[in-house]
Amino acid sequence: MMSRGILAVGAYAPENRVPAEAFENAWGSFDAPGVETKAVPDGDEDALTMGVQAARRALSAGDADGEAIDHLAFATTNPPLAEEDQTPRLGSYLGVPDSATRRTHTGSTRAGVDALFDALETDGTALVVVSDCPEGEPDDSREHAAGAGAVAFVVGEDAPATVADSATESEVRPGTRFRGHGESDVAGLDTGTYGRAAFREPIEAAVDALSVETDTDAVAVQAPNGKLPYRTSLDNEAIAAVETVSELGDTAAASVPLSLATAFTEGHDRTLAVAWGSGAGATAFVVEGVAPIETALEGDRELDYPAYLRRRGDIVGEKPDGGAAHVSVPTWRRSVAQRHRHEAGRCPECGAVAFPPDGACPACRSLVEFEPVTPELTGTVDAATTIGQGGAPPEFAEQQAQQGAFGAAIVRFSAGEGEVALPMQATESVDVGDTVRAVPRRVYVEEGVPRYGLKALPQD
For the sheet containing 101-105, what is the strand order?
101-105, 71-75, 126-132, 149-156, 5-12, 293-296
Which residue intervals of 149-192 are DSSP H helices?
A: none
Query: In the chain, what percentage of residues exceed pLDDT 90?
Result: 80
DSSP characters over 311-351:
HHTTT--PPPS--TT---HHHHHHTHHHHHH--EEE-TTT-
Q: What mean pLDDT comes out for the span 155-168?
A: 97
CA dist., res. 290 & res. 8, Å (int): 9
Report yes or no: 57 and 7 within 8 Å, Cβ to Cβ. no
State the angle between helix axes of 305-312 and 20-27 in degrees (0 to 180), rounded to the nearest 10: 100
Between β-strands 71-75 and 101-105, what pairing exists: parallel, antiparallel or unpaired? parallel
Helices (H), 62-107: 87-94
Q: What is the mean pLDDT of residues 441-448?
A: 87
pLDDT at 1: 36
| CB-based burial label for 357 (10 Å; 0-12, 13-18, 19+) | buried
SS3 301: strand
Statement: residue 108 has pLDDT above 80: yes
Render pLDDT for 234-255 as a digit per residue (tens, 0 to 9). 999 999 999 999 999 999 999 9
Q: Is the pLDDT of residue 424 over 50?
A: yes
Q: Which residues contact 28 (CB under 8 A, 6 or more apart)?
A: none
pLDDT digits (tens, 9 = 90+) for 4-32: 999 999 999 999 999 999 999 999 999 99
Give residue 311's Cα distance to chain centre.
16
Q: State which amino acid sits at residue 238.
A: A
What are the angstrom distances between the C-alpha of 247 and each of 31, 170, 211? 15, 29, 33
Whether residue 306 is preceded by a cis peptide bond, meaning omega within 30 degrees of 0, is: no
Average pLDDT over residues 194-208: 95
- Show Cβ contacts of residue 193 under 8 Å, excluding neighbours closer than 6 positions: none
Q: Regarding beta strands 162-173 and 279-288, do their DSSP bridges make them parallel or antiparallel, or are they unpaired?
A: antiparallel
Q: Would you say residue 454 has pLDDT above 90? A: yes
Mean predicted lDDT score pLDDT of the chain: 92
**Amino acid (1-letter code) at residue 343:** E
The pLDDT of residue 139 is above 80? yes
* 382, 411 contact by CB (below 8 A): yes
Tell me which amino acid residue 37 is.
T
**DSSP-derived 3-state class of residue 162:** strand
Torsion sign (Cα): 332, 333, 335, 339: positive
CB atoms closer than 10 angstroms to residue 169 = 18
Handedness of CA 372, 336, 50, 168 (dihedral sign): negative
* Spatial separation of the C-alpha atoms in residues 388 and 317, rounded to whole Å: 16
With beta carbons less than 8 A apart as the criterion, state whether 319 and 327 touch.
Answer: no
If DSSP codes are grouped into helix, strand and coil, which group holds residue 36?
coil
Q: State the first-to-last Cα distance of the chain, in angstroms, to the nearest integer.
A: 45
Enclosing H/E stretch for 40: strand 37-40
**pLDDT over 90 at 316, yes or no:** no
Given a cut of 90, is residue 101 above it in pLDDT?
yes
Rounded CA separation 230/208 (Å)? 17
How would residue 392 be classed by pLDDT, with cut points 50, 70 and 90? low
Q: How far apart are CA 279 and CA 2, in angstroms?
A: 36
Structural domains of the chain, with CATH: 5-312 (3.40.47.10), 329-336+375-458 (no CATH)
- C-alpha 343: how far from its chain's center? 22
- For residues 327 and 68, the model is more confident at 68
Q: What is the pLDDT of residue 330?
A: 86
What's the rounded mean pLDDT across residues 430-459? Answer: 92
Name residue 414's beta-bridge partners.
419
pLDDT at 323: 56
pTM over 0.85: yes
Q: In whole angstroms, what is the distance from residue 111 CA to residue 252 CA?
A: 9
Report which of residues 405 and 145 the model is more confident about.
145
Over 70: is that where the pLDDT of 89 sits?
Answer: yes
CA-to-CA distance for 119 and 88, rounded, in angstroms? 17
Q: Alpha carbon of 239 to those of 232, 236, 394: distances in Å?
A: 10, 5, 47
Please report, as a single letter, which amino acid is at residue 178: F
